[in-house]
Amino acid sequence: MVLEQLQLLAAITRIDNELADLQEELGDLPHEVKALEKEVRSRQQAVDTTQKHIDDILQTRSNAKIRAQEIQDKEKKLSAQQFQVRNNREFDAITKEVEMLKVELREVEKTIGSTMMTEENLRRVYDAQFADMEDVRDRLTEREHELNDLSSEHNDEINDLLSRRADLLAKLPKTLVVQYEHIREYHTDTTVAVRKSCCAGCFNAVPPQRIVEMRTYKTIFTCESCGRLLYPEEMQHIQG
């Protein structure tokens, strides 16, 4: 009776250890996927900001080009007018105006030139940022696939283990199930062997007299130090 119960408890603990391993395997992946998603978002923002700068610079250049055309048209008109002046005063006034337009045109052309350089720099930044983002996005996709594969693969395994666990638990008395689940809140390896006269869970010594009693399979013993359920090392295991 007690032997059978201990065998069941040991089998359930083996299943619980497997479940814990599966959980651990999945462990970092969900966290990693979340972190990568966040990184992709922040890199996308950097790319968008650079794109916005490029758009602004293109707008500035387009405005400058329109202004340059206006200046050139006006200058042409003034040059034509200069042939029709009636006196020197009018001639000088037009000359002065043309001079001012030439100064402004030089400024506008300077602006156009500097937008070219800025655009070139920004495009280099954009390309680097975009490649960076694609890199992280690729890593994210990879990790997502891994997580999906692992999850679905694990789901089958986990369901199988849980149903085997339920079958085994159903064969135990209720009080023992309650005791088992209570100990499991503290130790995943709830049921352990006594090895070299020590609890295999916490490695504290088990008194020789208890080991002798344990081998008679009349009572279920717990470790006095950690509370885990104990069974003699030589106990036969059942398939569970």
Interface residues with Zn ion (CB under 5 A)?
Answer: 199, 201-202, 223, 225-226, 228
For residue 203, the minimal CB distance to Zn ion (Å) is 7
To which residue do tokens 């009572």 refer? Answer: 219
**Angstrom distance (rounded) from CA 124 to CA 104:** 31
| Cβ neighbourhood burial of 217 (10 Å; 0-12, 13-18, 19+) | middle
Helix (H) or strand (E) holding 211: helix 208-214
Nearer to Zn ion, 114 or 222 (CB): 222
Angle (CA) 197-173-6 rounded to 5° is: 25
Nearer to Zn ion, 7 or 191 (CB): 191
Separation of CA 160 from chain center: 29
Give min distance, CB of 197 to Zn ion, in A: 12
Hey, what are 95's tokens? 């000359």
Nearest distance, CB of residue 226 and Zn ion, angstroms: 3
Closest separation in Å from C-beta 176 to Zn ion: 18
Single-letter amino acid, residue 154: H
Whether the Cβ atoms of residue 180 and residue 6 lie closer than 8 Å to each other: no
Is 129 or 191 the residue whose CB approaches Zn ion more closely? 191
Cβ–Cβ < 8 Å for 147, 29: yes
Least distance from C-beta 224 to Zn ion, angstroms?
8
> Looking at beta carbons only, is 10 or 223 nearer to Zn ion?
223
Query: For residues 67 and 210, which CB has a smaller minimum distance to Zn ion in the complex?
Result: 210
